[in-house]
Structure 1
């Protein structure tokens, strides 16, 4: 697989994402359902957004690795949050650390939604390729 990053600007680098990723010579694609702060026993977290985001990242990593991929294979990440303002003020550093730790170069969208399942306030949806 070959990934080419398209970044006409540099300002997004500080936020931990790229403007576009072209992927060619792909052997497989993994479409990952929304991963949220759900514990291994299936119970939903009612913690604050930052704590939920940490668990959602861990759940995303678990699914990606169980499928035989690496987080560096993620090329598209969509974040659904009940408050974009709260996400940017309490979680953006975790996103940057996650992307940097796994050398991720992913296109990114952040959507504010009126609600998520049960007590969730953040959810991650991703696409990985190899």
Structure 2
């Protein structure tokens, strides 16, 4: 499956967060249950320019979690700019 929104970091970040929320909802969880979040990106500077997209989504959850931002040479699909990996606990 080709990456959605090629070249658009903000849209890929929003889509990644939508997917994360959908997976959490399937387990009857929310973003408030996230205890660890790894963010992988091929462009750290551009991601940091859109970091508000990520923080805004977690705003109001009342939870703090460990996080890591990792710059990588490439992701599984050539058009991907960002990928999230989360651990959640109920």
Question: Is the shorter-chain TM-score for this pair beyond 0.5, marking a shared fold?
Answer: yes
Larger relative contact order, structure 1 or 2 (CA cutoff 8 Å, min sep 6): 2
CA RMSD of aligned residues (A): 1.3
If each structure's strand is expressed as a fraction of its own residues, which one has the higher value? 1
Q: TM-score, normalised by structure 2?
A: 0.89
Q: Point out the structure with max Rg over C-alpha.
A: 1
How many matched pairs? 88
Distance 1:94 1:104, change over 3 A: farther
Unaligned runs of 5+ in 2: none
Runs of 4+ in 1 over 6 A off after TM superposition: none
Match in the other structure for 2:48: 88
Q: 1:105 aligns with which of 39, 49, 64?
A: 64
Q: TM-score, normalised by structure 1?
A: 0.63
Shift of 1:108: 0.7
